[in-house]
Amino acid sequence: MIRGAAAVLLLLGAAPQETSDPKGMEFFEKRIRPLIADRCFTCHSAQAEKLKGGLLLDTREGVLKGGDQGPAIVPGNPEKSLLIKAVRWVDPDLQMPPKKRLDPEQVADLEAWVKMGAPDPRGGVAKPPPLKKPMGMSVEDGRKLWAYRLPVKSALPALRDAAWPSGDIDRFILAGLEAKGLKPAPAADRAVLARRLFYDLHGLPPSPEEVDAFVADASSDAVEKLVDRLLASPRFGERWGRHWLDVARFAESLTLRGFIMKDAWRYRDYVIASFNADVPFDRFVREQVAGDLMGDGTLEERRRRAVAVTFLVMGNTNLEEQDKKQLEMDVVDEQLETVCRGILAQTVTCARCHDHKFDPIPTRDYYALAGIFKNSRTLEHSNVSKWLEVPLPAEPEREAEAKKHDDRIAALQARIKAEKGKAPTLAETPAGKTKGALAVADVPGVVVDSAKAEKVGDWMQSTYSGVYIGDGYLHDKNEGKGEKSLTFHPELVAGRYEVRLAYSPGTSRSKEVPVTILSADGEKDVTVNEQENPPIEGRFVSLGQHRFENNQGYVIVSNEGTRGHVTADAMVFIPVEKLETAKSSAATAKATETAPVRELEAELKKLQESGAKRETVMAVREEKAIADLKIHHRGSVHTLGDPAPRGVLQVALHGEAPRMPAGQSGRKELADWLASRDNPLTARVFVNRAWHWLFGAGIVRTTDNFGTTGEKPSNPELLDHLAVRFVEDGWSVKKLVRTIVTSSVYRMASGVASEADPENRLLGRANRRRMDAEGIRDAMLVLSGRLKLEAGGPTFPASLSADYSYRHAGLERGVYVPVFRNALPELFEVFDFADTSVPTGRRESSTVAPQALYLMNNAFVLEQAGHAATRLLSESHKDDRARAARAYRLALGRLPTEGETALLLRHVSGAKDAKAAWGAVFHALIASVDFRYVN
Amino acid sequence: MCDKDRLTRRQLLRGAACGFGSLAFAGLAGASEDPLAPKRPHFAPRAKRVIFLFMQGGVSHVDSYDHKPRLEKDDGKMMSFDDARTVANTGAKNSSQRIMKSPWTFARHGRSGHWGSSLFPEINRQMDDLTFIHSMHTEGVAHGPATLFLHCGSTNLIRPSMGSWLVYGLGTENANLPGFVSIAPSSGNGGARNYGNAFLPPVYQGTGLGRAGGPASEATIRNLKGPDGSEERFDLLRELNGEQLRVRPGDSEYEAVVNSYELAWRMQKNAPDVLDLSKESKATLDLYGIGRKPTDDYGRQCLLARRLCESGVRFVQVTYGDNSANPAWDQHSNLPKHGDHARAVDRPVAGLLMDLKQRGLLEDTVVWWGGEFGRTPYAEKNGTGRDHNPGGFTVWLAGGGLKPGFAHGETDEFGHKAVSDRVHMHDLHATILHQLGLDHERLTYTYAGRPFRLTDVHGQVVREILA
Quote the pLDDT of residue A1: 36
Model ipTM? 0.74
Mean pLDDT computed over A638-654:
92
Chain A: give the shortest CA distance to residue B14, in Å: 17
Cβ contacts of B174 on chain A, cutoff 8 Å: none
Nearest CA in chain A to B146: A321
pLDDT digits (tens, 9 = 90+) for A69-123: 888 999 999 989 999 989 988 877 788 988 788 888 899 999 999 998 899 888 8
User: pLDDT tens per residue, chain B (467 residues)?
Assistant: 233 233 333 333 333 322 222 333 334 433 346 778 899 999 999 999 999 999 999 999 999 999 999 999 999 999 999 888 888 877 778 888 999 999 999 999 999 999 999 999 999 999 999 999 999 999 988 888 899 999 999 987 889 999 999 999 999 888 788 899 999 988 778 777 899 888 888 778 888 888 887 788 778 888 988 888 889 999 999 999 999 988 887 777 788 888 889 888 888 888 889 999 999 999 999 999 999 989 999 999 999 999 999 999 999 999 999 877 778 999 988 899 999 999 999 999 999 999 999 999 999 999 999 999 999 999 988 788 999 999 999 999 999 999 999 999 999 999 999 999 999 999 999 999 999 999 999 999 988 778 899 999 999 999 999 99
Checking if the pLDDT of A410 tops 90, the result is no
Confidence class for position A42, pLDDT limits 50, 70, 90: confident
Single-letter amino acid code for the residue at A556: I
Single-letter amino acid code for the residue at A3: R
The span from the CA of B441 to the CA of B459, in Å, is 9
Cβ contacts of B325 on chain A, cutoff 8 Å: 257, 520-522, 549, 552
Inspect the interface and report whether the beta carbons of B253 and A556 lie closer than 8 Å: no
Inspect the interface and report whether the beta carbons of B156 and A321 lie closer than 8 Å: yes
Neighbouring residues of A424: CB distance < 8 A, sequence distance ≥ 6: A533, A592
Quote the pLDDT of residue A430: 40
B424–A contact, CB cutoff 8 A? no
Provide the chain A residues 407-466 that lie in CB contact (below 8 A) with chain B.
454, 456-457
Quote the pLDDT of residue A176: 95
Inspect the interface and report whether the beta carbons of A848 and B224 lie closer than 8 Å: no
Calculate the average pLDDT of chain A.
89
Q: What is the number of alpha carbons within 13 Å of residue B411 lying toward its C-beta?
A: 30
Inspect the interface and report whether the beta carbons of A897 and B247 lie closer than 8 Å: yes
Q: Are A784 and A776 in contact (CB under 8 A)?
A: no
Instruction: State the maximum Cα–Cα separation within chain A, in Å, rounded to a whole number.
Output: 114
Total Cβ atoms within 10 A of residue A525:
12
Inspect the interface and report whether the beta carbons of A846 and B201 lie closer than 8 Å: yes
For chain B, list the domains and their CATH numbers.
Answer: 35-225+293-465 (3.40.720)
DSSP string, A210-245: HHHHHHH--STTHHHHHHHHHHHSHHHHHHHHHHHH
Q: In chain A, where are the structural domains located?
A: 2-115, 168-235+684-767, 280-384+623-674, 395-423+594-614, 425-592, 770-934
Inspect the interface and report whether the beta carbons of B449 and A520 lie closer than 8 Å: no
A851–B contact, CB cutoff 8 A? yes
Cβ contacts of B28 on chain A, cutoff 8 Å: 847-849
Q: Which of B81, B157, B240, B420 would you mutate first to test chain A, the one with the most A CBs within 10 A?
A: B240
pLDDT digits (tens, 9 = 90+) for A754-796: 788 888 999 999 999 999 999 999 999 999 999 999 879 999 9
B105–A contact, CB cutoff 8 A? no
Q: Are B22 and B171 in contact (CB under 8 A)?
A: no
Quote the pLDDT of residue B361: 97
Q: Are A530 and A510 in contact (CB under 8 A)?
A: yes
Quote the pLDDT of residue B137: 97
Chain A: give the shortest CA distance to residue B6, in Å: 23
Confidence class for position A15, pLDDT limits 50, 70, 90: very low
Checking if the pLDDT of A6 tops 80, the result is no
Checking if the pLDDT of A434 tops 70, the result is no
B209–A contact, CB cutoff 8 A? no
Total Cβ atoms within 10 A of residue A563:
12
CB-CB: which of A456, A708, A856 is closest to B383?
Answer: A456
Mean pLDDT computed over A19-48:
85
E strand spans, B23-150: 49-55, 78-81, 95-99, 106-109, 114-117, 130-137
pLDDT digits (tens, 9 = 90+) for A807-825: 999 999 999 999 999 889 9
pLDDT digits (tens, 9 = 90+) for A139-154: 989 999 999 999 999 9
Provide the chain B residues 1-20 that lie in CB contact (below 8 A) with chain A.
none
Provide the chain A residues 116-175 that lie in CB contact (below 8 A) with chain B.
none
Inspect the interface and report whether the beta carbons of A852 and B261 lie closer than 8 Å: yes
E strand spans, A328-435: 376-377, 379-380, 386-391
Assign a CATH topology to domain A425-592. Jelly Rolls (2.60.120)
Quote the pLDDT of residue A383: 82
Q: Is the pLDDT higher at B227 or at A852?
A: A852
The span from the CA of A846 to the CA of B312, in Å, is 23
Inspect the interface and report whether the beta carbons of B201 and A848 lie closer than 8 Å: no
Quote the pLDDT of residue B224: 87
Quote the pLDDT of residue A132: 52
Q: Are A261 and A856 in contact (CB under 8 A)?
A: no
A908–B contact, CB cutoff 8 A? no
Q: Which of A320, A456, A706, A804 would you mutate first to test chain B, the one with the most B CBs within 10 A?
A: A320
Helix (H) or strand (E) holding A556, with range, is strand A554-558
Confidence class for position A135, pLDDT limits 50, 70, 90: low
Cβ contacts of A333 on chain B, cutoff 8 Å: 157
Cα dihedral sign for B368, B370, B372, B377? negative
Q: Which of B13, B32, B137, B156 would you mutate first to test chain A, the one with the most A CBs within 10 A?
A: B156
Quote the pLDDT of residue B414: 96
Quote the pLDDT of residue A726: 98
pLDDT digits (tens, 9 = 90+) for A207-262: 999 999 999 999 999 999 999 999 999 999 999 999 999 999 999 999 888 899 99
- Alpha-helical (H) ranges within A822-879 are 826-830, 849-857, 859-874
Neighbouring residues of A803: CB distance < 8 A, sequence distance ≥ 6: A252, A253, A258, A259, A260, A818, A820, A821, A822, A823
Confidence class for position A604, pLDDT limits 50, 70, 90: confident
Q: Which of A321, A760, A907 would you mutate first to test chain B, the one with the most B CBs within 10 A?
A: A321
Checking if the pLDDT of A19 tops 70, the result is no
